Structure 1
Amino acid sequence: MRDLSFAHAPAVERLGRQIRQTVDAAASLTDLQLLAPSRCHGWSALEVVVHLRMGLQEMVVGVAPSDDEPDHDAASYWASHPDDRDDDPVPHILWLRRVASAYGRPSAAVRHLEDVAEGACVAVRTLQEGQVEFQGKYLRSGDFLATWVVELAVHQLDLGIDGDEPVGLDWARTTVEAVADADLPSGLDDRSAVLVGLGRVPPPAGIRLSGSYPVSL
């Protein structure tokens, strides 16, 4: 895994734009489109929306300033997650499905995401530069924000909407390559590289990847 860090001010600006863009993408989907499968295995587009809403809530309430030295950066953050207790993703997929089914209509979940996103944008703008603690990990604030740029950019792709590229797509590619410690083929544009590097789609014919791919974020 490669070292990877991002400066605070660019990460603030990029994350604010990425939050708004991802929410707008979700809001462009009809109820029936939200019920369709996403690119994230086992999740509908609705479940991606609910996952993002819960993630942004955690981002706002779960981060705290810290005086401790960072022990993770924008790549090594992805090496583990508090929910990674075993290799079986099925219980979490089914739990998320049950949470998503509580909404009367899929569009209600999008409205909930919109409300949470407004508060998240305020929290991002007011986060002070320095070190933070999140999920038991210590990061520089720029790296913490960059992980959320990548999270949102990837899940915007998962929604399967053709249109504007996520503003954090280049950061997502850089992060995937840093986690794998291997560059993706230069012939792949950023969208294709991220989807292939994460195993969302198979490599195009004639494209060979390092054995460290696909990676998981």
Structure 2
Amino acid sequence: MRQLSFPHEQAVERLGRQVREFVAAVGSAGDLELLGPSPCHGWSRLDVVVHVRMGLQEMALGTVAGRAEEPDRDAASYWADHQDDRDDDPVAHILWLRRTAAAYSRPAAAVTHLRDVADFAVRAVQTMPEGTVAFQGKHLRSGDFLATWVVELAVHQLDLDLAEDSPSGLAWTRATLEAVAGAELPAALDDRDAVLVGLGRQQPPPSAQPGPAFPVSL
């Protein structure tokens, strides 16, 4: 694994942009589209929306969790033992997320909730000071903390599978995958295809096979 860090101010701008893009992508879909399956096994698009909304709430709380300790993780090593990977059996979480999503009267209500949380999260990010953030038992520089959320949102925007779009956070996501793997993805792949291949969500073409370090899990 290679070290990877991002400047605070650049991360603030990039995250705000990526949040707005995700919310716009969700807003372009109707209720029936949001009830359709996503590329995440067992998740509907609505489940992705609810997962991201809860994540943004947690992230917003992280913006005020400054600490004096030295960072012990960066934008790549944060993912080394990410909490979503601790349970080898994902079924309980999938079903819990499905029940949570089903509590909304319609998918549109979940989208409205997402918009409200996203607006609050962006405001929180824009006012957070540069420094060290304590989050999920880890300590990261604020730029690296925000970069992990740029990656999270870019990946889940692809998971909506609503259009052949290219989230603005894809370049950072590719850099993160390569840093976690300690290897480069094929140069012949653009950032969108490289991310999908690097995560194992898409099969690479025969002419652009990644090395044995891929796919990786974030």
* TM-score category of the 2 structures, normalised to the smaller one: over 0.9
User: Partner letter of residue 51 of structure 2?
Assistant: H
Deviation at 1:163, TM superposition (A): 4.9
Segment of structure 1 superposing worse, 192-201 or 205-214: 205-214
Q: Percent identity?
A: 67
User: Partner letter of residue 38 of structure 2?
Assistant: S
What residue is the counterpart of 2:121 in the other structure?
A: 120
Q: What TM-score, normalized to structure 1?
A: 0.97
Structure 2 CA distance, aligned partners of 1:21 and 1:111? 15
User: Partner letter of residue 212 of structure 1?
Assistant: A
Q: What TM-score, normalized to structure 2?
A: 0.96
Deviations 1:29-69 (A, max 9, x none): 11111011112222111000000000000001244001000
What residue is the counterpart of 1:2 in the other structure?
A: 2
What residue is the counterpart of 1:151 in the other structure?
A: 152
> Which sections of structure 1, spanning at least 5 residues, go unmatched?
none
Stretches of 4+ aligned residues off by more than 4 angstroms? none
Deviation at 1:88, TM superposition (A): 1.3
Structure 2 CA distance, aligned partners of 1:49 and 1:100? 9
SS at match of 1:209: coil
Deviation at 1:83, TM superposition (A): 4.5
Segment of structure 1 superposing worse, 129-138 or 201-210: 201-210
Structure 2 CA distance, aligned partners of 1:21 and 1:99? 24
What residue is the counterpart of 2:44 in the other structure?
A: 44
Is 1:89 the counterpart of 2:103? The answer is no
Deviations 1:64-97 (A, max 9, x none): 0010000000000011133443311111111111
Superposed counterparts of 1:1-217, under 5 Å: 1-63=1-63, 64-217=65-218
User: Partner letter of residue 82 of structure 2?
Assistant: H
Deviation at 1:104, TM superposition (A): 1.1
Structure 1 CA distance, aligned partners of 2:124 and 2:162? 27
